Amino acid sequence: MEQQILQRPGKSRIFMNKVKTFLCKPQNVVLLVLGIILSVTTIAPIVSIFADTISIHVGSVDAHLTGKTSGYTLVNWIDLFTGNLSRQNVWIPLGNTLLLAFFTCLGAIIYGGIFAYLVTRTNLKFKKYLSAIFIFPYIMPQWTLAVVWQNLFNSHGVTGGSDGLLASLFRITMPAWWCKGLFPSAVVLALHYAPFAYIMIGGIFRNMDANLEEAAVILNTPKWRIFSRVTLPMIKPAILSTILLVFGSAMGSYPVPHYMNLTTLSTKYVSMNVNRAGEASILAIIMMVFGVVILMMNQVTTSSRKSYTTVTGKSGQISKVNLGRVGKYAIAAIFIILTTFTSIYPIISFAMETFLPNPGDYSFLTSGNLSNLTLKWWITSENLTENGMYGQLGILFNSTIWNAFKGTLIVSICCSLIAGTIGTLVGYSVSKNRRSKAAGYVNAIAFLPYLIPSLAVGVSFFIFGSALGIYNTYLLIILAGTVKYIPFASRSALNSMLQLSGEIEEAAIIQDIPWFKRMFKIIIPIQKSSIISGYLLPFMTCLRELTLFMLLCSQNKIVTTLLDYFDEMGLYAFSSGINLILIIFIIICNGLINKVTGASLDKGIGGN
C-alpha cells in the first residue's frame, strides 16, 4: 500500500487562497475598488499643492529672492515663517482662523443640536414649519447672511460706505466689533452650518431606539443623567462628524471673512496667490494639517471597541419629552422669531433688492410711495431704453442667466449622483470593516478632499484640466465637485450604517439573498433618510458653490460665477435675483423629493 505524503501548500497558494477569501465578501471588494479610485483622485491634488510650495514661480517673490525663473527651492517656507511679514502673513491669520472655526463649531452644534432634539424628541409645536424653515440658511449661498448682516448693521461712520437699513431708517449705529471682524463672522457661519448640524444629529435622534432611555427612567435616573450618560453617547458619531465637517468648512471659508473684513488663512491665501503663490500654498498645507489632526482624533474615537448600534430588529419607538402646556408654545415662538430673521428676512431682502431702482435705495419705505419701485430688473426685454443695466436684459429674458442656470443643474445632478453613490458605498464598506486598517484608510482618504481648501482644489484641477485640454468644460467641473463632495455623502452614510445591527444583514445572508438585493431591499430602505441626505447635501452645496469652481470655468458657465460677476459689476439686483431663484428652486426640489420618496432634507430627520 502506497503511502500518501501530504505536502504543505506553497506560499503562493496560501496567498491566493487568502485573496479569494477576502474577495468573497462584497464589502471587501467595494473597499478595495474605492481605495484605489479615491487614492488616485485625492492624492494627486495634495501632491500638486506640496510641489507648488517648493516651486519657483515667474514674477513671484520666490523668483526675486532666488534669482531663478524655474526649479525648486525652500525659500517659500523660510520667508513665510521667518520673514519680516511672517506675523501678518501666517500667525495672525492662523489665530483668527482657529478662533473662527472653534466658535463656528460651538455655535452650530449648540444651536442645531438643541433644535434637532426639540424637533425629534419632544412635543414641540409647529415642527413641520420650523423644520422646513430652519434649513434655509444652509440652502442659501454662504455669503448670503454676511451680505444681509452688512445691509442691516453697517453705517458710514463706523464701516464706511453707505448706511445699512438700521442706520438709514432709525439712525441706529452698531459698534465696529459688531459690524466686522471675528464676532459677525462666527455668528454668520454658525447660523449657516447650524442646519448641517441639525441634519447630521437629527437623523440619529430620529432613528434611536428609546428602550435604553426608558430602562434608565424605570431605574429612577434623573433626566439630565439620562441625557449625558445614555442619549449623548449614542449620538457621539454624529457630533464628531459634525465637528469634523464644520471645522474644516469654517477653516476654508472665504466669502464670509472676506465680507466681514476678517483676515484668515483663506483670505490671506487669495491675497497672496498672485505675488506669493508658493507661500499661499503653504497656508493651504497648514489648513490641511489641522484637518488631518481632527480626522485622526475622530478615527481613534470611533474605531474603539464601543458599539454605536442604535437601529436593530427590535422596537424602534421614540420617547417624547413633554415640554408642558406653555413650554411647547413658548419655545416654538422663540424659534419662529429666530428663523424669521435668519431664513425669511434674507429672502424678503433679496426680493426687495430686485425691485429697487438703485442698490440700497429704500425711499419707498421712508416716503410710503410704492411708485419708487421698479420691475425693470425682471421684465426688460431690450437694452435700448433702460439705463444703468450695462446692456443686460431683465432676468426673465436674460439668456445668459438661464444658460448658466442650466449648466449649474448639469453639474449639480452629476456631482450628487456620483458623490452620493461613492459615499454610500464608502459608508457601507467602512462600517462592515471598521476595525481594519484598510477601512480606516479608505474612510480617511475619502474625507481628505474636504480638508483641502476649495481654492487649493480648484487650482490643482485647473492645472490638471489645462494640461488635458478640458478647461472650461463640464467634465472638469464635475470631476472637481465629485472629489470635493464625497465626504458629505460618506460621513452621512457612515453614521447611518454604524447604527445598523449586523444581525439584520446576516438574516438575509442565511437566506442566500445576493448582496445587490440586500442593499436595495433591506439596507437602503431602512436608512433611506440618511442616505438620501447624502445625495441632497452634494446637490445643494454644488448649486451654490463659487470658490471651488471660479478658477475652472468662465464667469457665464455656471450661475454662481455669474452671480459673482454681477456683484463685481455692482448689479446687485441681478445677483439678488439669482439667489432668490436658487432658493426657490431648492425648496421646490425638496418638496418633490418629499412627495416621491417620503424623505426630504428636513422631514427625513424628524420634521414630520
Higher pLDDT, 522 or 152: 152
Full DSSP string of 514-582: -HHHHIIIIIHHHTHHHHHHHHHHHHHHHHT--TTTTTTS-TTSSHHHHHHHHHHHT-HHHHHHHHHHH
pLDDT digits (tens, 9 = 90+) for 564-608: 788 777 787 888 898 888 878 877 876 776 676 555 555 444 333
Higher pLDDT, 111 or 298: 111
Residues 6+ apart with CB under 8 A from 305: none
Distance CA 325, CA 233 (A): 30
Query: What is the separation of C-alpha 470 from the centre of its chain, rounded to a whole number of angstroms?
Result: 26
For residue 78, the number of C-alpha atoms closer than 13 Å in the C-beta half-sphere is 8
Maximum Cα–Cα distance for the chain, whole Å?
Answer: 116
pLDDT-above-70 percentage for the chain: 86
Distance CA 605, CA 608 (A): 8
> What is the sign, positive or negative, of the torsion defined by CA atoms of 564, 569, 571, 574?
negative
Is the per-residue pLDDT at 414 higher than 90?
yes
Predicted confidence band at 71 (pLDDT cuts at 50, 70, 90)?
confident
Query: Per mean pLDDT, which range of 156-160, 482-486, 593-597 is the poorest?
Result: 593-597
As a whole number, mean pLDDT of residues 384-405 equals 81
Is the per-residue pLDDT at 193 higher than 50?
yes
For residue 12, the number of C-alpha atoms closer than 13 Å in the C-beta half-sphere is 0
For residue 546, which of 467, 457, 463 has the smallest C-alpha distance?
457
Global pTM value: 0.78
Q: Would you state the torsion angle of the CA atoms of residues 565, 570, 572, 575, taken in this order, to the nearest 10 degrees?
A: 0
Predicted confidence band at 294 (pLDDT cuts at 50, 70, 90)?
confident
CB atoms within 10 A of CB 56: 21
Residues 6+ apart with CB under 8 A from 474: 407, 410, 411, 414
Query: Per mean pLDDT, which range of 134-143, 328-337, 358-367, 574-583 is the poorest?
Result: 358-367
Is the per-residue pLDDT at 436 higher than 50?
yes
Q: Are 93 and 181 in contact (CB under 8 A)?
A: no
pLDDT-above-90 percentage for the chain: 15
Is the per-residue pLDDT at 307 higher than 70?
no
Quick check: helix, strand or coil at residue 324?
A: coil
DSSP conformation class of 393 = P
What residues are paired with 55 via a beta bridge? 72
CB atoms within 10 A of CB 14: 11
Distance CA 180, CA 160 (A): 11
For residue 107, which of 186, 169, 207 has the smallest C-alpha distance?
186
As a whole number, mean pLDDT of residues 12-28 equals 71
Higher pLDDT, 121 or 308: 121
Q: What are the phi and psi torsion angles at 318 (to 5°)?
A: -110, 130
Is the per-residue pLDDT at 33 higher than 50?
yes
Question: What pLDDT score was predicted for residue 187?
Answer: 95
Distance CA 385, CA 357 (A): 14
Question: What pLDDT score was predicted for residue 602?
Answer: 56
Quick check: helix, strand or coil at residue 311?
A: strand
The amino acid present at 493, given as its one-letter code, is A
Query: Per mean pLDDT, which range of 52-56, 300-304, 369-373, 504-508 is the poorest?
Result: 300-304
Distance CA 186, CA 179 (A): 12
CB atoms within 10 A of CB 489: 29
As a whole number, mean pLDDT of residues 467-481 equals 88
Higher pLDDT, 95 or 83: 95
Q: What are the phi and psi torsion angles at 553 (to 5°)?
A: -155, 170
Q: Write down how long the chain is.
A: 608
As a whole number, mean pLDDT of residues 319-340 equals 87
Q: C-alpha angle with apex 450: 453 to 525, nearest 5 degrees?
A: 155
What residues are paired with 72 via a beta bridge? 55
How much is the mean pLDDT over the chain? Answer: 80
Is the per-residue pLDDT at 182 higher than 90?
yes
Full DSSP string of 268-301: HHHHHTTT-HHHHHHHHHHHHHHHHHHHHHHHHH
Quick check: helix, strand or coil at residue 160?
A: coil
Is the per-residue pLDDT at 79 higher than 80?
yes
Q: C-alpha angle with apex 261: 257 to 264, nearest 5 degrees?
A: 50
User: What are the cell numbers at 353?
Assistant: 433688492
Distance CA 336, CA 84 (A): 51
Q: Are 312 and 250 in contact (CB under 8 A)?
A: no
pLDDT digits (tens, 9 = 90+) for 245-293: 788 778 878 888 988 999 998 889 888 877 888 888 888 888 878 877 7
For 291-298, the CB contacts below 8 A with 24+ separation are 291/247, 291/248, 291/251, 291/448, 291/450, 291/451, 292/448, 292/451, 294/243, 294/244, 294/247, 294/248, 295/244, 295/444, 295/447, 295/448, 295/451, 298/240, 298/241, 298/243, 298/244
As a whole number, mean pLDDT of residues 19-45 equals 78
What residues are paired with 122 via a beta bridge? 321
pLDDT digits (tens, 9 = 90+) for 108-145: 999 998 998 888 888 888 888 888 888 888 877 787 88
